[in-house]
Every structure is written in C-alpha cells, then in structure tokens.
Amino acid sequence: MRRIGIGLLAALLAGCAPYSPPDFLAHTPGPGISVFDSRLRGDAFEIDVPEGWRVITGPAQFPLSIVMAGADCQLIQLGIGAFAPEIPAECAEQDMQTIRRETAVLLPDGALTLAGSHPGGPDGQAFEVLFEAVAASVRARD
C-alpha cells in the first residue's frame, strides 16, 4: 500500500515540473513551414498548394527548398534567387518544360522564386494556368 501511495505522490509531483523540449527540437535550424487548409505558411511568406498535391521540404540546415508535387511529374519548386530546379530521376526521360517566376517576396538570402516543371504535351497549358495561379497566390507575411 505504501508503494502505491509513493507512486501516486510521484505522479502528482511530476505534473508540476515545467516542460522543456529536447535540444534537437528546441534548436531546429531553418525556418518553420506548415501546411493548413491548402495554404503553405513559412516565416516570411505564404502560398496556395494545389488540391491533392504533396509538399516536400528539404533538410533544415540547407537553404530553402520546397517542392509541391502533383501527378504525372508536375512539380512546383520554391527556392531563393536563380536556383536550379531538380527533376526527379523518374521524370528525367520525359521532355520536361520549365517555367520560372521571381516573386516580390524578399527573404534574407534573396527573392523567393518559383520554378514549375511539367512533361509538356496536351496538359501543358492547363499546368501553366495552375502555375500562374499558384505564383499569384504568394503573399509576404509580417
């Protein structure tokens, strides 16, 4: 019975201790990125994500790298300045077309730039309309 009492007392006192996150969570490098209601939000900008597309971020210790991936090798990549968009190996055999747009959003290392890549063909014009809508949705955050 005494052990149960000590265990209950310890459990009650443990709830009073302040929480501090582990070091690897408290000191994560790079800007925070979140996706909520088809809107990607960074520290300095936000942008619409096409419905049904995946958002892939690069490692936190490297410069900004965000890829929005749709079906059939359709990609919208976000980077800083004149970055070189990467084409995945499974898409490299196709005749990929690329569109670039520099936005008015200035980040510490340069302007936020979008690069859209698609396989061309009959869906190319629909992709370009989608890309322009995503580019127009970029907003600076205060």
| Angle at the Cα of 86 from the Cα atoms of 121 and 88, rounded to 5 degrees | 65
Q: How confident is the model at residue 123, as a pLDDT?
A: 80
* Mean pLDDT taken over the chain: 82
Residue 14, domain member (yes or no) = no
Residue 89 belongs to what domain range?
Answer: 29-140
Q: Which amino acid is at 43?
A: D
Residue 8, domain member (yes or no) = no
Number of domains making up the chain:
1
Residue 9, domain member (yes or no) = no
- Banded model confidence at residue 68, pLDDT cuts 50, 70, 90: very high
Do residues 53 and 68 lie in contact, with contact meaning Cβ atoms separated by under 8 Å? yes
Do residues 56 and 67 lie in contact, with contact meaning Cβ atoms separated by under 8 Å? yes
Residue 2, domain member (yes or no) = no
Residue 42, domain member (yes or no) = yes
User: Does the predicted TM-score (pTM) go above 0.85?
Assistant: no
